[in-house]
């Protein structure tokens, strides 16, 4: 192994973040529409959801740009503006059921197609305009 090689690169994504202006609308979308379970909410700052072994962090960008005054949790300021992207892994039958569920609740489909390798993706938008994808988990397997 070369001297500069990383011996144990990361093997999974623990958390992903999207940024929204309206936490209530985001909580309704990710909780009520997608069925994710919120486990933490700080009014005016964030709401966090369990996604299997991972976590989806939904932040108000203005609040995350303010440095923390808690020395026990020195999380650096961060944030993003404009639409972001998150992708949830699902088998094709579950994606089909999710599409039907979302359309029945007034959520428009942005795009739906099969990739050149045959993996299926469905794209919608959350209330903040973030691109939310549902894809078969093997989409990137041979990339």
Digit-coded pLDDT (tens) for 42-85:
999 999 999 999 999 999 999 999 888 888 988 888 888 889 99
Digit-coded pLDDT (tens) for 79-108:
888 899 999 999 999 999 999 999 999 999
Query: What's the chain's average pLDDT?
Result: 92
Instruction: Judge whether residue 10 has pLDDT over 80.
Output: no
pLDDT band at 142 (very low <50, low <70, confident <90, very high): confident
Domains, the chain, in order of start with CATH, read 15-69+80-135 (3.10.180.10)
Mean pLDDT to the nearest integer, 24-50? 96
Instruction: Using alpha carbons, select from 22, 24, 35 the residue that is nearest to residue 97.
Output: 35
Which residue(s) pair with 12 in the sheet? none
Give the Cα separation of 103 and 109 in Å (integer).
7
Specify the pLDDT at position 126. 97
For the entire predicted model, the pTM comes to: 0.89
């Amino acid at each position: 192994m070369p001297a500069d090689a990383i011996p144990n690169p990361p093997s999974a994504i623990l958390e992903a973040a999207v940024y929204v202006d309206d936490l209530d609308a985001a909580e309704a979308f990710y909780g009520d529409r997608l069925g994710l379970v919120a486990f933490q909410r700080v009014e005016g700052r964030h709401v966090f959801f369990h996604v299997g072994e991972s976590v989806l962090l939904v932040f108000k960008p203005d609040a995350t740009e303010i440095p923390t005054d808690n020395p026990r949790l020195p999380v650096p300021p961060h944030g993003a503006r404009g639409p972001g992207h998150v992708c949830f892994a699902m088998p094709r039958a579950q994606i089909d059921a999710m599409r039907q569920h979302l359309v029945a609740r007034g959520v428009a489909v942005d795009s739906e197609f099969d990739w050149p390798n045959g993996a299926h993706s469905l794209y919608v938008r959350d209330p903040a305009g973030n691109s939310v994808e549902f894809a078969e988990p093997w989409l990137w397997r041979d990339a």
